Amino acid sequence: MKIAILPGDGIGTEIVAEAVKVLQALDLAFETETALVGGAAFDAFGHPLPEATLQLAKDADAILFGAVGDWKYDTLERPLRPEQAILGLRKSLGLFANFRPAICYPQLVDASSLKRELVSGLDILIIRELTGDIYFGQPRGRRIATDGHFPGTEEAFDTMRYSRPEIERIAHVAFQAARKRDKRVTSVDKANVLETFQLWKDVLTDVGLQYPDVALDHMYVDNAAMQLVKAPKKFDVVVTGNMFGDILSDAAAMLTGSIGMLPSASLNDKGQGLYEPSHGSAPDIAGKGVANPLATILSAAMMLRFSLNQPAAAARIEQAVDRVLTQGLRTPDIHSHGTTRVGTVAMGDAVVKALG
């Protein structure tokens, strides 16, 4: 098993170090290789995704990724910004299916921004299509408008697009995932306004006929955002496009108490995956030793389960995280009265100890 370690920027280096520590404590046979990515790679090589880093990722069985980005890079032209590294990895490796579980641990019910009765027992799986939609659509750019309400002025444009095969592919992933859960899929679209998502809705309906044991309903994205806050436990598997999934998964994160608790997996059709926490690089707290490493540690568990065929080891990590929370240990983002506040390294050490 070969794992590419790409810590990235900001708190990425701190949280990935703790996840690697936990993996090493499992005493499994794997090799790791670390490379620069994002702003750190730009500083060293003039590009956020150097060819050597990309090749390492392609050759690995799985990638453990931290986070990229920093405000100091905001003035760079867009192709050189740190965030282009993660987009490049997704596209180059064909990582089309993004799994973002939103689970509210019983120990963290009171850390949620919603009432206890709304989030107790919450277990949602958001499946986001990751290589299409407006983030990758062409053409895109800026120009001087020749028509419209303001001809002669500068305008910018991005193109939203999906093809039937792209939608079919992610739809099958969602229905197959639902079969292992509560057998319910909610497809989120904006078919009342966007032709792209009328196609999305049509294709999801067609694919759903192949899964008569799974219930399918359709929901407009604005209503889905409202229902996530109003009645989040009504959802089981949510499947949606790249942009809507980006937004809704972060909203769902706060239902669980902190985005610092949410792992994610991005998979291609070969089972190769990139595993990262759902949060960003948080440059405002980088280097302070207060970042929550649990999302990254749980991402490592997903890596063991989905790409490295080590489900027992994955379960050990997940059980260890549960034990640590039961012990009352909390990083600042989930700290509350009556719990023990710890830093990044101490939380990682606690998970290692709880592995048993």
Is 135 one of the annotated active-site residues of the chain? yes
Contact, 23 vs 75, CB < 8 A?
no
Is 250 one of the annotated active-site residues of the chain? yes
* Catalytic residue (one of 222, 234, 270, 288): 222
Please report where in the chains the tokens 């229905």 appear, as a residue: 175
Rg (the chain; Cα; Å): 20
Contact, 99 vs 264, CB < 8 A?
yes
Q: φ and ψ at 310, to 5 degrees?
A: -130, 65
Strand pairing report for 141-144 and 154-157 = antiparallel
Closest CA to 102 of 249, 227, 219: 249
* Catalytic residue (one of 110, 158, 246, 322): 246
Q: φ and ψ at 159, to 5 degrees?
A: -110, 125
* Catalytic residue (one of 43, 110, 123, 250): 250
* Catalytic residue (one of 162, 190, 201, 211): 190
* Catalytic residue (one of 135, 182, 220, 233): 135
Please report where in the chains the tokens 């197959």 appear, as a residue: 176
- Residue 177 is given by DSSP the state H
Secondary structure E strands in the chain: 2-8, 31-34, 62-67, 97-103, 123-129, 141-144, 154-157, 184-189, 215-220, 237-240, 263-267, 273-277, 329-330, 340-341
d(CA 229, CA 348) in angstroms, rounded, equals 31
Is 190 one of the annotated active-site residues of the chain? yes
d(CA 218, CA 201) in angstroms, rounded, equals 7
Supply the residues annotated as catalytic.
Answer: 135, 190, 222, 246, 250
